[in-house]
Copies of this chain bind each other. A is one copy, B any other.
Amino acid sequence: VRDVAIIGSAQTKFGKLGKSNTELFCDASLRAIENANVTQKDIEALFVGNVLGGFEEGQINIGGHLVGALHLGNIPATRFEGACCSGTVAFRDAYMWVASGFYDIVLVGGMERAMVMGTPYSTRTFAMANDCKYEGTTGITFPGVFAMAARRYSKIYDVPLDKLREKMAHVSIKNHKHGALNPHAQFYQKMGNLKVEDVLNSTVVCDPLTLMDCCPFSDGAAAVVLASADIARRYTDEPIYVLGVGQGSLGHMGAQADITKPASRVFSAKNAFKQAGLGPKDVDVVEIHDCFTSAEIIASEAIGFFDWGKGADAVEAGETDIGGRPVINPSGGLMGKGHPIGATGVAQVHAIVEQIKGKAPKGNQVDPVPEIGMTDTLGGGFNTIAHTILGRSRR
């Protein structure tokens, strides 16, 4: 397969936006198209991640409608749904259609209106990403999954739960600090100075997780323009190359040995690193799916940045903050920037693109400017996981 580059990217502000899914997608896409120095005529196919549109807006089959709204002619449009991972699944697929040589320039994006939908209904709808027969019938929602993961982590690594909660709090503190400095973030200029006690003493959502251990639901959209690497420099002086992609699946959580070591994530990350010819030590900056504080910690281990059971210590020691390595979620992540489900994976890619270009918001930018970045996106109870590895230089 041939090399592929990102030639443009953009995201809307995340938060409560009061726009339709089509409007959100067009907002992000038109800015990405402008950022890529292409026009609508250049786009040969559209790929979109969206989860809740059928439930909250009464819109399925949205791909074709987006083509109409963006005046893209009759080009193919494909909608992807892999729960919170939808955006990255769409990105990986878009990548392949260019890598194969079938298309030269494509548009990929995602959008969601989870905040419009409201937290109770979003939580309930979103729990459908678990297995409806084996897990749905128990009434479990995602705070429950990651509360269980925290408890298991406490048990298998013999870290008392109150000590683990303090370590987990540092994920929230770090990501909110970054989010407060990101003008596109849902919590821009908010909660930038959390203390451990603030996280511990927040409202309990699912013991041991408090509200400050959880990401919010959000409205928002993000979009990226991909091009064959061979033509990328016609459009931009700063192409960012897709060095590797990975995706993995799991099945229901009961079928898995240990939810703190999800085999789907290990599989996906390994495949992405293999394609890129790189390893965890090569990654300067990573956007990780921090839907909960415990989620970031177990992800940082499964990807290979830290040994099993060492991720919690690493975040507490500041090793994943700006100045450490790898820097995790300098954009604010899901926790500080927001989590518009179908957009999240594409927004992670946009954040890494900005990092490698040295154009991240002040206070978010990693120094020195990163060469290699990565994204990690999780859908459901580990049953859809995908990764991208991006770099300033071609393989």
Interface residues of A (CB under 8 A from B): 1, 20, 22, 46, 51, 54-55, 57-61, 63-65, 67-69, 72-83, 85, 89, 93, 96-97, 99-102, 125, 128-133, 136, 247-252, 255, 263-264, 266-268, 379-380, 383-384, 386
Closest 4 CB pairs between A and B?
A68-B251, A64-B383, A100-B100, A76-B247
A80 contacts B83, C-beta separation under 8 Å: no
Measured in the bound complex, the distance between the Cα atoms of B65 and A129 in whole Å is 9
Interface centre among A63, A76, A251, A384 (most CB of B within 10 A): A76
Cross-chain contact of A64 among B1, B20, B128, B251 (Cβ < 8 A)? B251
Query: In the complex, what distance in Å separates the CA atom of A68 from the CA atom of B382?
Result: 12
Which residues on the B side are within 8 Å of A83 (C-beta)?
Answer: 60-61
Contact A383 B129 (CB under 8 A): no
- In the complex, 21 of the A-B residue pairs with CB atoms within 8 angstroms, ordered by the A residue number, are A54-B128, A58-B132, A58-B136, A60-B83, A60-B125, A60-B129, A61-B85, A61-B128, A61-B384, A64-B383, A64-B384, A67-B251, A68-B255, A69-B251, A74-B248, A74-B263, A75-B248, A76-B249, A93-B93, A96-B97, A100-B102
Cα A77 to Cα B69 with chains together (Å):
29
Closest partner residue, chain B, to A76 (CB atom):
B247
Contact of A249 among B63, B133, B251, B383 (CB under 8 A): B63
Task: From A67, A247, A251, A379, name the one whose CB has the most chain B CB atoms within 10 angstroms.
Answer: A251
Q: How far, in whole Å, are A97 and B1 apart by their CA atoms in the complex?
A: 10
Closest to A379 in B: B61
Identify 17 new A-B residue pairs, CB closer than 8 A, beyond the known A59-B136, A74-B248, A77-B384: A46-B249, A51-B60, A58-B128, A61-B82, A61-B83, A61-B128, A61-B383, A63-B249, A64-B249, A65-B131, A67-B249, A68-B252, A72-B249, A78-B82, A96-B96, A96-B100, A99-B102
Residue of chain B at shortest CB distance from A69? B251
Q: Which residue of B lies closest to A134 (CB)?
A: B65
- Max chain B Cβ within 10 angstroms of own Cβ: one of A51, A67, A81, A131: A81
Which residue in B67, B79, B99, B129 is a CB contact (below 8 Å) of A61? Answer: B129
* Closest B residue by C-beta to A71: B251
Identity of the chain B residue whose Cβ is nearest the Cβ of A136 in the assembled complex: B58
Q: How far is the CA of A85 from the CA of B61 in the complex (A)?
A: 9
In the complex, chain B residues whose CB is within 8 Å of the CB of A82: 61, 63-64, 77-79
- State the CA gap A80–B93 with chains docked (Å): 11
Q: How far is the CB of A387 from chain B (nearest CB, A)?
A: 11
User: B267 contacts A64, CB within 8 Å?
Assistant: no
Q: How far is the CA of A77 from the CA of B60 in the complex (A)?
A: 20
In whole angstroms, what is the CA distance A93 to B76 when docked? 11
Chain B: minimal CB distance from A364 (Å): 30
A262: nearest residue on chain B (CB-CB)? Answer: B74
